[in-house]
Amino acid sequence: MTYKLQTNPRKSASQERSRSTVDALIEATTRILIKEGYDRASTNRIAEVAGVSIGSLYQYFPSKEALVAAVIDRHTQQISAVTRNALVKAAARPIEDAAREFVSVAIDAHRINPKLHGVLAEQIPRVGRLENIEANVREGYALVRAYLEAHRDEIDVADLDLTAFVLVTVVEALTHAAVLRRPDLLADEKAGRFVDDVTRLILGYLRKQ
């Protein structure tokens, strides 16, 4: 086990044939991560599941980390597409609507691929290339902060930075935990109550007394 931190693709696939090889590899990595976790996701096994030779794997990915990074990228992009969109839309809305929207979209985001999300959340720190995740989190913060700033008059903010931190942390933690550990709280009729409750939590915190 040599630890190389290189995570960039070795060569970029130009023909259709190779592009599908790359796809199969990322797909297989995702499946194995979900079903068996990071430790069992050996490059040999990934290649086997992808129906591709180990040699081909290393033609496109210089290391196991690179493969995982690719999986992370894909997932992160899906999440950020959803969330950014919603945050931008909510920018002009009053806090009652925006808060509710914020909570809803956080749930949606966690529902994109809950199992993968869980595995990644537990193991990302060990993979290089966190930059994308980091960049995304920062973007989320920035959007929330910008919202708070724009709606300063409706809100009780002593410290913008702290408030943004609290909001993002709280909503992320609650939706993450609900989707991954307490799916019963989000089943059918109950889901509404959960959203109501979290929204109330946020509004109680933001609103002027």
166 belongs to the binding site for a copy of itself (CB under 8 A): yes
Q: Which residues pair with 155 in a beta bridge?
A: 207
Is residue 144 within 8 A of residue 164, CB to CB? The reply is yes
Report how far residue 53's alpha carbon sits from residue 27's, in angstroms, rounded to the nearest whole number.
15
Exposed, middle or buried, 16 (CB in 10 Å: 0-12/13-18/19+)? exposed
Is the Cα torsion angle 59, 65, 71, 73 positive or negative in sign? Answer: negative
Least spacing, CB of residue 54 vs DNA, in Å: 4
Q: Which of 6/123 has CB closer to a copy of itself? A: 123
Q: Which span (7-15, 79-87, 100-108, 130-138) binds DNA, by CB under 7 A?
A: 7-15
Closest CA to 111 of 44, 202, 178: 178
81 belongs to the binding site for a copy of itself (CB under 8 A): no
Is residue 37 within 8 A of residue 98, CB to CB? The reply is no
Q: Which span (5-13, 33-41, 89-97, 101-109) binds a copy of itself, by CB under 8 A?
A: 33-41
43 belongs to the binding site for a copy of itself (CB under 8 A): no
Cα–Cα distances (Å) from 21 to 32, 36, 50, 116, 194, in that order, read 16, 22, 8, 21, 42
Q: Which span (47-55, 119-127, 182-190, 197-205) binds DNA, by CB under 7 A?
A: 47-55
What character string, x for contact with DNA (CB under 7 A) and - otherwise, covers 78-117?
----------------------------------------
What character string, x for contact with a copy of itself (CB under 8 A) and - otherwise, covers 136-165?
----------------------xx--xx-x
Report how far residue 116's alpha carbon sits from residue 109's, in angstroms, rounded to the nearest whole number.
12
Query: Which residues here bind DNA, judged by CB under 7 A?
Result: 1-4, 11, 13-18, 20-21, 40-45, 52-56, 58-60, 62-64
Contact footprint for a copy of itself (CB under 8 A): 37-39, 122-123, 125-126, 158-159, 162-163, 165-166, 169-170, 172-174, 177-178, 182, 185, 193-194, 197-198, 200-201, 204-205
